[in-house]
Structure 1
Amino acid sequence: MEDPRLTALFRKLTRGTAWEKRAEIGLQFDNGHAQGMIRIGDLYYLSSVELTEAPVREANRADGHDRSPGKGIGRLFVFDGAGRLVRETTLGEGDQYHPGGLDYDGESLWVPVAEYRPHSRAIVYRVDPRTLEAEEAFRVPDHVGGVACDGRSGRLVGYSWGSRVFYEWDRTGRLLRAKANGSHFVDYQDGHYAGGGQLLLSGIAELPAPGPAEGGSAPYELGGLALVDLDTLAAVHEVPVALYSPGGHVLTRNPVFLERAGDRLRLYAVPDDGRGALLMYESERLEPDGEGEEPPASGGSAG
């Protein structure tokens, strides 16, 4: 069920919007390096990668890539509101072990699993959320960092490494459009259909921090949220996020899910690796004369 007020409220977010932490729920399992998340009813679906051998940058590789493929295991976790693992499955094949941002169309989850390097390959899976039975939907000759569903047409929209290119496919994987991303604000990591022909996307940019050029400070993590029009594949509203996790990561580092809570926005995130936590924040009231607190209109489904 679409909620037209969700995107209307999002357009009222500014850099000065106040957010209040409402919950921090420790996950009772190792969530690895989490990537994408969505809430369906009372359950949370979280894609993640367990990296067993990190890719290594190598110049002049014979395969034309800028780094080795590394090794890892792609996982899809399901957990409840208390942080308890309900079930899990593995996704991927060979060097394609890195899941990305995911979405739900009301029937199936759509999850890309790519090589952990740019300009590579990916498999897009269709997953039954009840059983976690996964079937390969199609393959893409590029790294796909996330997939979202167009709730109007059923088409799928994905984005490449660093979200530099948007792709649009039908459900058989036939490429309908490829378009350069005109925004260089953040690299999109996760995203979901928000209704009205628009996507809500979240992401991060790692920027140089002050300090010596060599051996200096760790990169600064700039977090951000964006509303992207599906017809133009252009951002129509973007805001930075200056909220941080217990582990010191920006809140939008990877998995993020947004929903409406009355006249506020509610944001869920799992930014920390390992035994992280589900963090829940709510914005200040964005419509002071609105209807007040009420349950999310969509019941947690973004499809």
Structure 2
Amino acid sequence: MIRKTIRSSLPALLLGLSSLIVAAAPDPSGSAIEQASLAGTQQLEGALFHVQGLALEPTRIWVTSIDQPNRKAYLHEFDRASGTQLRRLDLTDGARYHPGGISVSGGSIWVPVAELRPNSSATLVEIDTKSLKVRRKIHVPDHLGCVAASGDTLVAGNWDSKLLYVFDLSRDAPPRTVRNPSATSYQDIKFVGDQLVAGGSQTLWSGTLDWIDWPSMQLKRTLRTGAIGPVRPLGRGGPFTGEGMAIEGRDLYVLPEDGPSRLFRFRLEGTG
């Protein structure tokens, strides 16, 4: 993922420039993802813009993307078997047009939609996965770029995930904040059992996949990741964990390319 601090200053110019840089750069890690092997890829058939988040259900693939030139935020639904796009929801909210990393919990998909600048504002949007109707909105006076959901608990990262906001939806109380235990700028974060699994970038060509103990927020395991290879037409290279990320058991799924996008599946060696 191109760091948000770079994107916000000269968005169009730097996005194009960084694509060329990433395309020419070798993979510095020597492998795609530490302690993982590529198990397959799946083409997603349908229009995607700059990919931001990924979530999986048994029959569905959910993706968020930002159409930056037109300042539009989208949630996309794909059929998991065929990769065909089924529905697309416009989540643009005035100055808030940056959708982030997403999570599915209890029949809802949670999407942060924020202004594309730090120290700004965001709305956590809860959407019914069947009807795509909005169930609720939570307004936050900060940029939020990713969210993990489990029951009444939400954990959301702000700009570059320097701070993590912890929400208890069962209580009428403001969220508490904790420092990110890693130097990684998380793009997608998920609850997996009694841990949080988070993926993001550290540079244009590297990132990490981290396991964080919940609720102590202690970093337990880190896997380093390299970059997706040369940029493809209409796509973009970058760290494998720099955009959408989801995990099911020992299978890690990442969506590191802009549309047209491929869903990469890696098999992890061991568990977190």
TM-score clears 0.5: yes
Matching residue within 252, 261, 265 for 1:280? 265
Which residues of structure 1 form unaligned runs of 5+?
1-14, 53-70, 207-219, 288-303
Matching residue within 168, 193, 196 for 1:195? 193
Query: Structure 1 residue 176: deviation in Å?
Result: 3.3
Return the alpha-carbon distance in structure 1 between the equivalents of residues 178 and 117 of structure 2.
20
The residue identity in structure 1 corresponding to 2:48 is N
Greater strand content: 2
Return the alpha-carbon distance in structure 1 between the equivalents of residues 57 and 185 of structure 2.
25
**TM-score, length basis structure 1:** 0.71
SS at match of 1:145: strand
Contact 2:33–2:223, Cα closer than 8 Å, also in 1: no
Deviations 1:196-233 (A, max 9, x none): 2x111111122xxxxxxxxxxxxx42111111223222
Which residues of structure 2 form unaligned runs of 5+?
1-31, 232-236
Return the alpha-carbon distance in structure 2 between the equivalents of residues 84 and 202 of structure 1.
25
Matching residue within 254, 273, 297 for 2:243? 254
> Does 2:38 match 1:40?
no
Matching residue within 166, 169, 187 for 2:167? 169
Distance 1:226 1:173, change over 3 A: farther
Distance 1:240 1:41, change over 3 A: same
Contact 1:31–1:274, Cα closer than 8 Å, also in 2: yes
* Paired-residue identity, %: 30
- Match in the other structure for 2:10: none
Contact 1:200–1:227, Cα closer than 8 Å, also in 2: yes
Distance 1:226 1:138, change over 3 A: same
Query: Structure 1 residue 189: deviation in Å?
Result: 0.5
Contact 1:150–1:230, Cα closer than 8 Å, also in 2: no
- Match in the other structure for 1:125: 125
Return the alpha-carbon distance in structure 2 between the equivalents of residues 155 and 135 of structure 1.
16
The residue identity in structure 2 corresponding to 1:156 is L
Return the alpha-carbon distance in structure 2 between the equivalents of residues 75 and 174 of structure 1.
29
After superposition, residues 232-243 of structure 1 pair within 5 angstroms as 232-242=216-226
Query: Structure 1 residue 142: deviation in Å?
Result: 0.1
Deviations 1:223-270 (A, max 9, x none): 11111223222322222113525633221111011111xxxx211111
SS at match of 1:162: helix
Larger-Rg structure:
1
Matching residue within 16, 19, 22 for 2:39? 22
Query: Structure 1 residue 23: deviation in Å?
Result: 2.0
Greater helix content: 2
After superposition, residues 69-88 of structure 1 pair within 5 angstroms as 72-80=71-79, 81-88=81-88
> Does 2:252 match 1:267?
yes
Return the alpha-carbon distance in structure 1 between the equivalents of residues 138 and 219 of structure 2.
27
Return the alpha-carbon distance in structure 2 between the equivalents of residues 159 and 238 of structure 1.
18
Return the alpha-carbon distance in structure 2 between the equivalents of residues 140 and 146 of structure 1.
13
Query: Structure 1 residue 110: deviation in Å?
Result: 1.0
Contact 1:170–1:176, Cα closer than 8 Å, also in 2: yes
Query: Structure 1 residue 16: deviation in Å?
Result: 8.5
State the Cα RMSD in Å: 2.1
